């Protein structure tokens, strides 16, 4: 009897606590912000754009939902991000909800001057996920980038976030950079942050128009374009194409790409695609000065052979391996030289020195930007062909008989 009474009292006391959620939010009262855009303002410091999803027009699949557009983009202004967000309530009938925000876009103008002043708001809000991707809009406003519609993805924000991941896996000239990644680089002892660049391709007049989705030629679409170099929290320049790929190589983020080789006087004779890659960066001191050693190891396969060669011969494979190593080394060294001109250590070479030689680092860290600009870096590449595709003898061999 006593045990039953105790159990009843426990249930009686706990029930009020479990009866409801103190901070519950009804879905019909929320506006889900899928992406946030930050531009330089006019009368106010910032123009902030909110890409809000229209749930009724999204539905349960790419072809589901209503007949209207899946998103709406609202703009408000403020001298801070908080002020702009509160001001947006004049235009939106629901409370802005950031738990599903997957993308933050800042204009190049903001990135070159004021990006530090917007990072605290993004980092401090408990609703905002710092795993959100951060990109810089090049030659366009953040609002224009957020207003584009997508052919393949119902939600335009997914087009950009997926593109970052797929181009990182297949091309190797971009990599996912979250708000966390940016902040870690910002406060790091010996490393500067980076961010992906995006530009608009095609006719800007088609941006935000439903009619644009009825065309077979995609116009006014966002496309990945380079990696932004930051120094002291401000954008200082860009690396693009193969130089951007070199940055991704050094940061050990290359999953795959394409290496085109010239052989027997023919350009594009061999195309090599890495399938596994690993980069190791180490530091030594010589004559009181730091020296960085970058070692890359990768395995790949031959995706194209546009000349008459026999891929069963070890000497042919060895020659291709040597050419691949030369090309990768060339790209990485070119990338290092390009970044050194900006005196911004986005590779984290200073971090490597700091971990290995903390006493020496304490002496040079105050002048590291200048030290980095003249840093001696040695690059070594080891490449191995693991597969030749389904043909070891291209049809070119039969054509020359």
Residue 23 has pLDDT above 60, yes or no: no
Helix (H, G, I), strand (E, B) or coil at 244: helix
**Per-residue tokens: 74:** 């609202």
Nearest by Cα to 71 from 223, 208, 216, 222: 208
47, 57, 106, 116 from 96: Cα distances, Å: 16, 18, 19, 23
In tens, the pLDDT along 247-303 reads: 999 999 998 899 999 988 889 889 999 999 999 999 999 998 999 999 999 999 999
Task: Please identify which residue in the block is written with the tokens 């809009």.
Answer: 137
Helix (H, G, I), strand (E, B) or coil at 36: strand
Q: Which class for 185: exposed (0-12), middle (13-18), buried (19 or more C-beta within 10 A)?
A: buried
Q: What angle do CA 46, 51, 57 make, to 5 degrees?
A: 160
Distance (Å, whole) CA 132 – CA 334: 31
Q: Which residue has the higher pLDDT, 208 or 120?
A: 120
Extents of the domains making up the chain: 26-239, 241-401
> Which residues are CB-neighbours of 242 under 8 A, at least 6 positions away?
173, 331, 334, 335
Considering the four listed CATH numbers 3.30.300.210, 3.30.70.980, 3.40.50.300, 3.80.10.10, the one that applies to the domain covering 241-401 is 3.30.300.210
Comparing 115-124, 129-138, 172-181, the range with the smallest average pLDDT is: 115-124
Comparing 118-132, 155-169, 206-220, 331-345, the range with the smallest average pLDDT is: 206-220
Reported as a pLDDT band with limits 50, 70 and 90, residue 55 is: confident
N-to-C CA span, the chain: 100
Helix (H, G, I), strand (E, B) or coil at 193: coil
Q: What is the pLDDT of residue 221?
A: 82
Q: What is the pLDDT of residue 264?
A: 85
The number of residues making up the chain comes to 401
Nearest by Cα to 75 from 21, 39, 110, 129: 39
| Listed ranges 19-28, 167-176, 190-199, 387-396; the one with the highest mean pLDDT | 190-199
93, 166, 307, 382, 387 from 300: Cα distances, Å: 54, 18, 19, 11, 7
Distance (Å, whole) CA 197 – CA 95: 30
In tens, the pLDDT along 56-100 reads: 766 544 444 456 788 889 999 999 999 999 999 888 888 898 989
Mean pLDDT, to the nearest integer, of 37-54? 93
Q: What is the pLDDT of residue 210?
A: 65
Nearest by Cα to 195 from 158, 169, 224, 163: 224
Q: What is the pLDDT of residue 10?
A: 66
Q: Which residues are 229's β-sheet partners?
A: 194, 237
């Amino acid at each position: 009897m006593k045990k039953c009474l105790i159990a009843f009292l426990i249930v009686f006391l706990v029930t009020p606590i479990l009866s409801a959620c103190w901070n519950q939010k009804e879905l019909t009262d929320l506006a889900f912000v899928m992406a946030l855009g930050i531009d330089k303002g006019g009368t106010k410091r910032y123009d902030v754009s909110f890409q809000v999803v229209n749930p009724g027009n999204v539905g349960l699949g790419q072809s589901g939902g209503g007949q209207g557009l899946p998103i709406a983009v609202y703009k408000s202004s403020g001298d801070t991000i908080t002020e702009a967000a509160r001001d947006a309530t004049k235009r939106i009938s629901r409370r802005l909800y950031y738990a599903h925000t997957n993308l933050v876009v800042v204009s190049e103008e903001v990135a070159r001057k004021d990006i530090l002043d917007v990072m605290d708001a993004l980092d401090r809000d408990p609703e905002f996920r710092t795993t959100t991707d951060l990109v810089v809009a090049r030659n366009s406003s953040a609002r224009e980038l957020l207003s584009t519609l997508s052919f393949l993805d119902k939600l335009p924000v997914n087009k950009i976030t997926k593109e970052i991941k797929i181009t990182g896996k297949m091309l190797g000239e971009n990599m996912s950079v979250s708000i966390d990644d940016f902040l870690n680089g910002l406060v790091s002892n010996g490393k500067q942050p980076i961010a992906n660049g995006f530009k608009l391709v095609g006719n800007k007049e088609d941006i935000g128009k439903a009619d644009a989705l009825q065309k077979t030629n995609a116009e006014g679409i966002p496309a990945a374009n380079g990696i932004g170099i930051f120094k002291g929290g401000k954008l200082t320049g860009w690396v693009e194409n193969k130089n951007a790929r070199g940055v991704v190589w050094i940061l050990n983020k290359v999953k795959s790409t394409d290496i085109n080789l010239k052989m027997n006087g023919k350009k594009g004779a061999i195309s090599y695609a890495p399938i596994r890659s690993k980069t190791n960066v180490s530091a030594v001191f010589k004559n009181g000065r730091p020296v960085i050693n970058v070692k890359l190891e990768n395995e790949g396969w031959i995706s194209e052979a546009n000349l008459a060669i026999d891929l069963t011969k070890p000497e042919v494979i060895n020659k291709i391996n040597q050419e691949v190593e030369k090309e990768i080394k060339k790209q990485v060294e070119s990338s290092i030289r390009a970044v050194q001109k900006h005196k911004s250590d986005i590779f984290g070479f200073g971090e490597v020195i700091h971990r290995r030689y903390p006493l020496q680092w304490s002496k040079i860290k105050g002048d590291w930007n200048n030290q980095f600009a003249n840093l001696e870096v040695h690059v070594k590449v080891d490449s191995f062909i693991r597969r030749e595709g389904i043909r070891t003898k291209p049809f070119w061999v039969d054509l020359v008989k």
